[in-house]
């Protein structure tokens, strides 16, 4: 046992492994002070909603289904970026040596990861609420139950990207990891049926989209509006969450063992 681990062991265990609401609140507050993060989870999805929604402007008399469809898709994209950003902060903390300092404390790795995941989910919820607010202000009309279920589905299913953020954060210990992951998310959104409805993609890309991480998230989020939820979509969300989550935990434990 290294001297650092011996010191951590002597301090003993703490309730819930060191997880506490004060640390979680500080973590969320720190993320919300990042203007770049707020820009990508609030401004980008709303801007894309206006851009893509313009082509459906004449469909307002048809029940607003196209506009609502686009709004939900952009909310999903915002949640993707928000959740990934929250998890990817692990990379910055590793780069600065902060995560190494935390390992010298009684903070359990599971408590650390849990606070990161909850922070990511909070950012995803803010992105969804922000996009929905813009949609409501610009005339999107849906039943109250559809608003609630679509938002809840988008938020819960976007958990896969909280796991993805942790995975890339541990895999790439770079301060600017989101500068590389951000464009990747946009590309994944295009080929996963988030930016462009799957029905408008070529047959080959429609088949490919079913194997992407965002396919199930987008499909289940829009299901309260247009239906179409399938077991494949549910399985896609569960499978990708497990893959990213297990991968992140393996890398995190390997990284911890080096100290």
34 has a pLDDT exceeding 50 = yes
Ramachandran assignment for 152, one of left (phi > 0), alpha (psi -120 to 50 degrees), beta (any other): alpha
User: N- to C-terminal Cα distance for the chain?
Assistant: 10
Q: Tens of pLDDT along 182-237?
A: 888 888 888 888 888 888 888 888 899 999 999 999 999 999 998 888 999 999 99
DSSP 55: G
DSSP 32: H
b/e code 64-88 from CB counts within 10 Å (16+ = b): bebbbbbbbbbbbbbbbbbbbbbbb
Give me the number of domains the chain comprises: 1
pLDDT at 64: 46
pLDDT at 61: 43
pTM, whole model, 2 decimals?
Answer: 0.84
pLDDT at 215: 92
d(CA 16, CA 20): 8
d(CA 152, CA 132): 12
d(CA 54, CA 47): 11
Q: Tens of pLDDT along 137-166?
A: 988 889 999 999 999 999 999 999 999 988
Domain limits for position 66? 3-257
């Amino acid at each position: 046992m290294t001297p650092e681990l011996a010191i951590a062991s002597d301090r003993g265990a703490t309730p819930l492994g060191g997880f506490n609401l004060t640390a979680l609140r500080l973590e969320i507050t720190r993320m919300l002070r990042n203007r770049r993060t707020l820009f990508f989870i609030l401004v980008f999805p709303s801007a894309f909603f206006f851009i893509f929604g313009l082509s459906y402007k004449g469909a307002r008399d048809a029940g607003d289904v196209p506009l609502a469809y686009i709004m939900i898709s952009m909310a999903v994209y915002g949640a993707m970026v928000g959740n990934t950003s929250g998890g990817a902060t692990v990379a910055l903390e590793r780069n600065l040596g902060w995560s190494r300092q935390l390992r010298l404390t009684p903070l359990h790795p599971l408590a650390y990861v849990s606070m990161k995941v909850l922070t990511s989910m909070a950012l995803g919820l803010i992105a969804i609420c922000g996009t929905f607010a813009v949609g409501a202000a610009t005339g999107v009309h849906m039943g109250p139950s559809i608003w609630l279920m679509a938002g809840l589905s988008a938020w819960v299913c976007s958990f896969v990207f909280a796991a993805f953020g942790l995975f890339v954060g541990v895999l790439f210990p770079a301060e600017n990891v989101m500068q590389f992951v951000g464009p990747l998310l946009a590309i994944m959104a295009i080929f996963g049926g988030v930016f462009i409805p799957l029905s408008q993609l070529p047959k080959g890309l429609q088949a490919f989209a079913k194997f992407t991480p965002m396919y199930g998230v987008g499909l289940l989020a829009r299901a309260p509006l247009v239906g179409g939820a399938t077991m494949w979509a549910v399985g896609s969300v569960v499978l990708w969450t497990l893959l990213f989550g297990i991968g992140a935990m393996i890398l995190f434990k390997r990284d911890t063992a080096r100290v």
